[in-house]
Structure formats: structure tokens, C-alpha cells
Amino acid sequence: MDQSINRSLAIIPARSGSKSIKNKNVKLFNGKPLIAWTIELALASNLSRVIVTTDSEEIKKIAIDYGAEVPYLRDNELSSDTIGIEPVITDVIDYLSEIEEYVPDCITLLLPTSPFRSVDDINRSIELYEKKDVTSVVSVSLATANHNPYWMLRKDNDVVTMFDGSNLSKMISRRQDLPSFFIKNDFVFTINPNNLFLNESSLYGDRVELMPISEDRLDVDINTDKDWKIAELLFEFL
């Protein structure tokens, strides 16, 4: 059953206190602040609004310069590296509901550390959410053989087993026989905002649709200096 969407909101979280890469969100990536790549794609998509949530005046200014809304500065307690994304999103929803009486039909979470997503990725996520009776759409990448759980080992008390504790004799030997597994990536994540206000709140809700990203796409989530260097090198091949 289709879900009618009139108000689709992008939330781009960008705090100032990155420890792995100093000032990561505003650092120039191929000529523009890293966050600008995500803002521009969001604005070019079918999303109704694009909001950046941040604790930084510098990030706020850059975000506004590139066309995003920054209606307020996030409190410090919601900007530490120990805070998960759920309370950050809930904070935006609460603000918009209280100050503007605005309640989105769906929220698309876009992390600025994933500059290789496309406008089509965003639009496809919204379309899947609208057409399917789901509570979230999660972009994923097909796990390669080396990252397939059936080729992962664990060691407990000097005993080596498969990931689930099974004897190694049950390990699948041929790559072609491995079952398909998917790894969550950070391209795009569309959710029903009500997911966060249930008794057992969850970003995902109870009906999840996976949106596989083509295997030939570049997929780098920038969290370390090494990631940054790899992303810059890969960008040259686009």
C-alpha cells in the first residue's frame, strides 16, 4: 500500500568536535567543504526541506551559504561523540513540531561523510518508502566474500569456530556457494519519524526495505585520514 508523502525532510547531522579528522565537515574536499556535497545533492533531489543540525556557528554559516536551513544550534549535550543519532533526530523533530507545527511524513538521514551518493540514490529511497508499506529504507552494499559471515571466524578460550559457534567443518568452501549478505552503508536512510516515539523506539521500525547500491559504485565513508586520502584518489576517477 502506498504511503502518501507531502513533507519529506532531509536531516544532515554535522557536529564540530570530530576527533579523527579535525574540522572534518568543513574541510575542503575537492574544492568544497565536505558537507557542501551532501547539501547540494539533497537540494537537487525530491526532498521538500533540507536541514542541517549542528552545534557550530562555522558549520551553520557554510550550510546556509550552500542553501540548507539551520533553524537553531544544537545543544552541547547532543554534540558529544558518545551521543547516538536517534536523540539528534528527535531533537530536530521536537523543534519543528513545537516552533513551526511542522511534522514530516518521512525523514531522510544524510551523513556528510558519504560524498559519493547521488541524487538518484536519495530519490529512489523516497520512492521505495512511498510505494512499500515499510517503516524505513536502508541503503546497503552486497558483502564481498571476505566480509561474508560464513567466512568469518571467532576464537573463544583458544577454540576456533565459525561466527555462530559452528564447527569449522561446516564452513562453505566455494565463494559461489556463499549466501548473500548485505552491509549497511551511509548513502541514504529514509525513516518514518514515528519510529522514534514508539514504546520500543528504533530508527528502523519493524518493516525494513533494503536498497542495494550497485557493486560498481564507489563507496567510502570518511571517518579517518586514510579514508579521506582514499576518497580523494577515487574522486579523480569519477
Alpha-carbon gap, residue 75 to 55, rounded angstroms: 6
Please say if the pLDDT value at position 22 is more than 60: yes
Alpha-carbon gap, residue 229 to 207, rounded angstroms: 37
Please say if the pLDDT value at position 1 is more than 60: no
Please say if the pLDDT value at position 19 is more than 80: no
Please say if the pLDDT value at position 67 is more than 70: yes
Q: Where are the beta strands (DSSP E) in 135-220?
A: 136-142, 153-156, 159-162, 182-191, 208-212
Q: Encode pLDDT of 104-127 as tens digits.
A: 999 999 999 999 999 999 999 999
Which residue is listed with cell 564507489? 218
Q: Encode pLDDT of 189-221 as tens digits.
A: 999 999 988 767 789 999 999 999 998 887 889
C-alpha cell at position 96: 519543528
Q: What is the pLDDT of residue 198?
A: 78
DSSP letter at 170?
A: G
pLDDT band at 225 (very low <50, low <70, confident <90, very high): very high
Q: Of 238, 194, 195, 191, nearest to 217 (Cα)?
A: 238
Alpha-carbon gap, residue 125 to 139, rounded angstroms: 8
Q: What is the pLDDT of residue 3?
A: 65
Name the CATH superfamily for 8-140+184-232.
Spore Coat Polysaccharide Biosynthesis Protein SpsA; Chain A (3.90.550.10)
Q: What is the pLDDT of residue 4?
A: 59
Q: Of 187, 219, 51, 191, nearest to 121 (Cα)?
A: 187
| CB-side neighbour CA atoms (13 Å) of 167 | 2
Alpha-carbon gap, residue 1 to 17, rounded angstroms: 42
CA dihedral of residues 88, 232, 211, 196 (deg, nearest 10) = 0
CB atoms within 10 A of CB 16: 18
Q: Encode pLDDT of 30-48 as tens digits.
A: 999 999 999 999 999 999 9
User: What stretch of H or E contains 43?
Assistant: helix 34-44
Q: What is the pLDDT of residue 18?
A: 78
Sign of the CA dihedral running 15, 61, 196, 4: negative
Q: What percent of the chain has pLDDT over 70?
A: 97
Would the pTM of this model clear 0.85, i.e. be above it? yes
Q: What is the pLDDT of residue 187?
A: 95
Q: What is the pLDDT of residue 2?
A: 58
pLDDT band at 87 (very low <50, low <70, confident <90, very high): very high
Q: Where are the domains of the chain?
A: 8-140+184-232, 144-179
Q: What is the mean pLDDT of residues 56-76?
A: 97
